Amino acid sequence: MRTRFCATLGLGALVLATAACVSLKRTPEARYFVLQSLVEPPAVAEEPVGIVGVETALLPGHLDRPQLVTWAGPNEMRTDEFLRWAEPLQEGITRTLAEDLAGLLPDYQLVRRPWSGRTRTRCRVLVTLRAFGLHPDGTVRLEGQYRLLPDKGALAYVLRPVSLSEGPVAVPRDEGAPPDPGVEAMNRLLESLSRQIAEDIRALPPEPPDDDAAGPTETDEESSRLEPEGGAGDHGGSPAQG
């Protein structure tokens, strides 16, 4: 009986000691990341030559999540609960693109969705990404397409596929240092994408005049003055007297 009691007491002490060790072990802290523009903010233009609208970027569901996504293989992705975005990735990409384009196109006013219904844009930028992040070989890749759309309608002025990469990212030299998830490289890839988009915007042909807003021409006014009151078929002659 006494032996059983001692064994039980010893087992209880071991459980308490193990629980104390577990409670004293520090839980890893989550790291939060944010995308940022690498283009210098522009000087405010006195009179913008036009307005460029930046539509909300389109992402697949496997990318638009709180955790950073890395590729482990062609059809395998991994997430780390301790590597997170400080804002929704869709919002971060759209904001960074707008800030980059504002610096690259100082003669234009940049607006983001939602903008006023009275705003008439020179073009709208719509970016669609299917891959954005760190890959097994250490490279960071951005793949997808972008379109330059008119103010109204869906027929694009420009439609271009995009495939950009950078790396491999540096491996930390210090043992125990946190790995680089490639966020700085992602910032640089967004800058490269923005430069391509800005070049296409500058190359757009002159915007056609708005026919609805144009008033009557001088020729129209002159024709209305010369036309007889009785209409084009009435020559104004009086009937012959019998």
Give CA–CA dist 174/179, Å, rounded: 10
On the question of pLDDT at 141 being above 80, the answer is: yes
| Domains assigned to the chain | 53-171+178-203 (3.40.50.10610)
Q: Residue 178 — very low, low, confident or very high, per pLDDT cuts 50/70/90?
A: low
- 50-108, pLDDT tens digit by residue? 999 999 999 999 999 999 999 888 889 999 899 999 999 999 999 999 999 999 999 99
Give CA–CA dist 148/73, Å, rounded: 32
What does pTM read for this prediction? 0.74
Q: Residue 179 — very low, low, confident or very high, per pLDDT cuts 50/70/90?
A: low
Reported as half-sphere exposure (CB side, CA atoms, 13 A), residue 125 has a value of 29
Provide the β-strand partners of residue 129: 144
CA 101, 103, 106, 111 dihedral sign is: positive
